[in-house]
């Protein structure tokens, strides 16, 4: 579907309990989620027809909504089943899945207690988030001007649409300079994350990653931390200052879209993708394969 606008794609979207034609999944221009950012979403991947950590994503979607003061009228089990129904209806095995929930158009104003809470789930085939050739040698990151906000000023633990406004701005600025993405600092000038992925560094065989207190503690992030510790690699979650970047050897980012992607450059700092990047990439790709495929590969 490369080059096709998303509103012109075909297939089925799950919309408030029904599978509807892609073109019929619409919202009104006076939807509260559009005007006031009252929307939450998830980004998930299916490998071989199985959605990786589907339940954890559904649980986080419900929690994100609660942090934005609304309740999604479906259970984790119902959301999981709906995601699977979308995959099956579109005939996808390897795909990206996007659940999104939002306040509707019944009231227009900051206050919107009476608005209907809507839920839609779409899926589409989506290859690597970054250019494959560039990914192997490490992507290049700019350093963003905008910073992740103080958690006292925004619901940082939610995957809320409004929190991505500065991410889009920062990624656009980075791409105009020829970078693949941008590293964002937090409100106190410490290393935080990229525009849509968490970040890791290595030094003397130890992995270092920022504490996830003002940005999303990614499901892929937690998966990679568990995989590293299972290998016996020490993982330290701590405050990291920008001036430390020159002391690290390897760097990689993680996320549902990014999976595990090595970084070769952050502004003036250089990194060489090495054994830890390779191990985390291989372990993660093995982890996301459905059990049946893993057994077949091992046979």
pLDDT higher for 170 or 127? Answer: 170
**CA-based R_g, the chain, Å:** 20
Question: Quick one: pLDDT at residue 290?
Answer: 80
Residues 6+ apart with CB under 8 A from 222: none
Q: Report which DSSP code applies to 297.
A: H
Please give the Cα distance from 22 to 7 (Å, whole number): 8
Residues 6+ apart with CB under 8 A from 7: 23
Question: Quick one: pLDDT at residue 299?
Answer: 45
| Cβ neighbours around 151 below 10 Å, total | 14
User: What is the set of domains in the chain, with CATH numbers?
Assistant: 6-124 (3.30.470.10), 132-288 (3.20.10.10)
Please give the Cα distance from 154 to 149 (Å, whole number): 7
Report which of 119, 109, 141, 123 is spatially closest to residue 43, judged by C-alpha positions. Answer: 123
Kindly report the average pLDDT of the chain as a whole number.
94
Residues 12, 84, 159, 171: which is the catalytic one?
159
The band of 133, judged by pLDDT with boundaries at 50, 70 and 90, is: low
Between strands 250-255 and 198-203, the pairing is antiparallel
Task: Give the model confidence (pLDDT) of 154-166 as tens digits.
Answer: 999 999 999 999 9
Determine the average pLDDT of the residues in 252-273: 96
Per-residue pLDDT at 295 exceeds 60? no
* Alpha carbon 197 to its chain's center: 6
Q: Structure tokens of 84? A: 């699977």
Task: Give the model confidence (pLDDT) of 166-225 as tens digits.
Answer: 999 999 999 999 999 999 999 999 999 999 999 999 999 999 999 999 999 999 999 999
Q: Report which DSSP code applies to 178.
A: T
- Written in H, E and C, the secondary structure of 235-287 is EEEECCCHHHHHHCCEEEEEECCCEEEEEEEECCEECCCCHHHHHHHHHHHHH
Catalytic, 177? Answer: no
Torsion sign over Cα 165, 123, 289, 129: negative
Per-residue pLDDT at 247 exceeds 50? yes
Cβ atoms of 262 and 251 within 8 Å: the answer is yes
């Amino acid at each position: 579907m490369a080059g096709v606008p998303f509103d012109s794609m075909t297939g089925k979207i799950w919309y408030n309990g029904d599978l509807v034609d892609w073109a019929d999944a619409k919202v009104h221009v006076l939807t509260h989620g559009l005007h006031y950012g009252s929307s939450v979403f998830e980004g998930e991947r299916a490998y071989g027809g199985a959605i990786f950590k589907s339940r954890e994503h559904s649980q986080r979607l419900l929690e994100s909504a609660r942090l934005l003061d609304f309740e999604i009228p479906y259970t984790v089990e119902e959301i999981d089943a709906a995601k699977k129904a979308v995959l099956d209806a579109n005939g996808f095995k390897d795909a990206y899945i996007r659940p999104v929930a939002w306040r509707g158009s019944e009231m227009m104003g900051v206050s919107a207690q009476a608005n209907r809470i809507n839920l839609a789930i779409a899926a589409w085939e989506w290859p690597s988030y970054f250019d494959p050739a560039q990914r192997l040698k490490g992507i290049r990151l700019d350093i963003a001007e905008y910073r992740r906000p103080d958690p006292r000023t925004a619901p940082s633990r939610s995957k809320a649409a409004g929190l991505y406004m500065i991410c889009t701005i920062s990624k656009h600025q980075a791409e105009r300079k020829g970078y693949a993405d941008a590293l964002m600092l937090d409100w106190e000038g410490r290393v935080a994350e990229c525009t849509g992925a968490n970040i890791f560094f290595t030094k003397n065989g130890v992995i270092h990653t920022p504490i996830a207190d003002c940005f999303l503690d990614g499901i892929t992030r937690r998966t990679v931390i568990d995989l590293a510790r299972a290998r016996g690699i020490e993982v330290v979650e701590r405050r990291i200052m920008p001036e430390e970047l020159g002391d690290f050897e390897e760097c990689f980012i993680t996320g549902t879209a990014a999976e595990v992607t090595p970084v070769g450059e952050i502004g003036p700092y250089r990194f060489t993708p090495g054994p830890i990047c390779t191990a985390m990439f291989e372990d993660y790709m093995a982890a996301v394969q459905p059990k049946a495929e893993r057994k077949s590969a091992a046979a």
